[in-house]
């Protein structure tokens, strides 16, 4: 159990130390890795943790707000880029020349 808590602490501290340079891929990998560790810890929680282990887990989870803020920042950046792309498409579309393809031109000679 202590090894799992130590592994959770290690991956969390590593990510927090480079949170401002972390890309969404880095955060995705971190969330997957952390999820695997937490899934292994859950059965031990059902059997009870001693106070030291519980305190250590609570200390690790204090970093969650920093991680959540960075994820929110990356999400907001992605939404802004998507909005800009959609606006560019809309502007481009308004300048495109549309023609009716099923029209005919009849020239009458007098």
Q: Of all residues in the chain, what percent carry a pLDDT higher than 70? A: 89
pTM value is 0.68
What pLDDT, on the 0 to 100 scale, is given for residue 39?
Answer: 92
Span 74-94, average pLDDT: 89
DSSP string across 17-66:
HTTTT--HHHHHHHHHHHHHHHHHHHHHHHH---HHHHHHHHHHHTTHHH
pLDDT digits (tens, 9 = 90+) for 7-54: 999 999 999 999 999 888 999 999 999 999 999 988 878 777 888 988
């Amino acid at each position: 159990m202590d090894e799992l808590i130590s592994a959770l602490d290690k991956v969390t501290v590593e990510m927090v130390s480079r949170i401002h340079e972390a890309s969404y891929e880095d955060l995705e990998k971190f969330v997957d890795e952390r999820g695997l560790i937490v899934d292994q810890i859950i059965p031990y929680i059902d059997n009870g943790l001693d106070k030291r282990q519980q305190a250590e887990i609570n200390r690790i989870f204090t970093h969650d707000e920093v991680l959540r803020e960075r994820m929110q920042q990356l999400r907001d950046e992605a939404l802004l880029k998507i909005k800009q792309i959609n606006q560019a498409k809309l502007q481009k579309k308004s300048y495109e020349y549309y023609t009716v393809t099923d029209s005919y031109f009849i020239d009458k000679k007098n």
